[in-house]
Amino acid sequence: MTQHDPLSPVRLTLGPVLFNWRPEKLRDFYFRMADEADVDSVCVGEVVCSKRIPFFAPFVPEVVERLQAAGKEVVASSLALIMSEREAVQARELTQLDGMLVEANDVSVASMMAGRPFVAGPLLNIYNEGTLAYLRDLGAVRACLPAELPGPVIGTLAKTTGIEMEVQCFGRLPLAISARCYHARSRNLAKDGCQYVCADDPDGMDVDTLDDEAFLAVNGTQTMSYHYLDLLAELAALRDLGVNRFRLWPHNVDMVAVAGLFRAVANGLVDAQDAAVRLSELCPKAEFANGYFHGREGHATIDAVL
């Protein structure tokens, strides 16, 4: 018998698009999320590379307006690595926004938000109660936890009062960010003259080992998991741990259908195993894993006890 409160609402968050999609495609994606997706919150903002910001910036006001008109909470996501004065200015401007939460993905942004409510993003290193309490005292009202945490640690952190826990449940995991651009390097280009080649890989560029084994994925300056996270079968366990908010990372697939699957399973309307089959159909190129939650290597696939 599950121990979660059946009356506690399930909340789905659509994370920021991490990939370099064409501005028009990105605009249309958010419009569809506003009109059709059964999600509660939508993160909008560039996390990976500040060079991408000017292309989508003209569309941001209408995207935010469309999402809010549809009843979605809009969260403004910050860069994950701030390295220049120009990026620092962009971050300060983000923290001055009225009417929406800011997601701090760099600790400097969390400091800028001190005294005001914000979301502690998944790229902050939250691995213990002390860090979580520090961020809460700064003003964090929600924290999206790092992907590497096993279930018992998530449960411990979920007991921290005054802050809402969010757990990543679908998609390639953002693992690290660098000052160097791997995508440009792969094309023998310098970062300053990258020609935006990351746009060639709308779900990231697969990286193999010297033995031709799938290893990681690259998205500009970002290192990601090769496998796609799938915690459909673990949603009930997460709710038992005190987590009711789940994050889905956008990919170049039918995210409306993906969100619908997670909503149905979280609400007990669809069997998790049946939903997993459907998820594989929606993401035919993906290989799924759930190892981190079970205290194993992240690329492992562990059968959940249902």
Residue pLDDT tens, the chain, 306 long: 234 454 478 999 999 999 999 999 999 999 999 999 999 999 999 999 999 999 999 999 999 999 999 999 999 999 999 999 999 999 999 998 888 999 999 999 999 999 999 999 999 999 999 999 999 999 999 999 999 999 999 999 999 888 999 999 999 999 999 999 999 999 999 988 999 999 999 999 999 988 888 889 999 999 999 999 999 999 999 999 999 999 999 999 999 999 999 999 999 999 999 999 999 999 999 999 999 999 999 999 998 654
Q: For the chain, which residues make up each domain, given as ranges?
A: 11-173+222-294
Say what the pLDDT of residue 211 is.
87
Alpha carbon distance 11, 7 (integer Å): 12
Quote the tokens at residue 29.
């994606």
| Contact residues for 62 (Cβ-Cβ < 8 A; gap 6+) | 27
Counted residue by residue, the chain has a size of: 306
pLDDT of residue 8: 73
- Using a 10 angstrom Cβ sphere, with 0-12 exposed, 13-18 middle and 19 or more buried, the burial of residue 237 is buried
Q: What is the pLDDT of residue 209?
A: 87
Q: Which residues contact 86 (CB under 8 A, 6 or more apart)?
A: 50
pLDDT at position 198 is 94
Pick the CATH number of 11-173+222-294 from 3.30.70.3270, 3.20.20.70, 3.40.630.30, 1.10.1060.10: 3.20.20.70
Chain CA centroid to CA 5, Å: 25
**Closest to 131 (Cα-Cα) out of 107, 115, 109:** 107
